[in-house]
Amino acid sequence: MARRGLRPLAGAALLLLALFSAAALCSAEPEEAASAAEDPLIEQVVGAGADGDELELNAEAHFASFVRRFGKSYRDEDERAHRMSVFKANLRRARRHQRLDPTAVHGVTKFSDLTPAEFRRQFLGLRRSSARDLLKGSSAHKAPILPTDGLPTDFDWREHGAVGPVKNQGSCGSCWSFSTSGALEGAHYLATGKLEVLSEQQMVDCDHECDASDPRSCAASLTSPKL
């Protein structure tokens, strides 16, 4: 433990010792590396002091912890090596973004072994309609402008139990069902004070008209008496 009267130079030496100790944890035995890396997994990479050499040195430990945490499996060693290189590139990107905005929190997710192009292809498959098409048949009404006096500086519905768990639609083109269930869950909470987690799968199973690439077909399907 550092004493209160420690000189700045000695304090800097202790800081360097702590940084090197953290780096040693990441290159230790797999179980030790996992416990040091998983909570949060990204901190030892994007934290202050991490450089390119440190990332290269501990890339295998970071990747092994990522594979364990998210249950990843790869076809062969070639694919594993490719995914590790993608993973390292994403860590560098996360670290770069973290330095640009220290108030943000960047971390490793289950998608961290995908390239940006792969992520877009697998999870952002909506074929956008033109702005004119999106406005056709719109029945939206202008909402009144509400007073803003006396509002708190921040408000988070999660702190009031109004928001359910984060859901993952995977590669299924069912974003319309997730947005619908989320809106209904929020409206139900405001009306009753109780949070109900609704099933997107039930809406998808009952609907045979919605085309995920055409938002208008989803709107028509949701209001159909057959649903």
Q: What is the pLDDT of residues 69-78, one digit of tens each?
A: 999 999 999 9
- The fold of 159-227 is Cathepsin B; Chain A (3.90.70)
Domains of the chain by residue range: 12-122, 159-227
CA distances, 144 to each of 141, 157, 186 (Å) = 9, 22, 20
Q: What is the pLDDT of residues 92-135, one digit of tens each?
A: 888 888 888 878 878 788 999 999 999 988 887 666 665 555 55
Place of tokens 């993973």: 87
Model pTM?
A: 0.55
Please give the Cα distance from 117 to 90 (Å, whole number).
Answer: 12
The pair of structure tokens assigned to 124 is: 């952002």
Residues of the chain with pLDDT under 70: 1-57, 125-140, 209-227
Long-range CB pairs of 168-174 (<8 Å, 24+ gap) are 169/200, 170/123, 171/122, 171/123, 171/125, 172/204, 173/125, 173/126, 173/212, 173/213, 174/200, 174/203, 174/204, 174/212
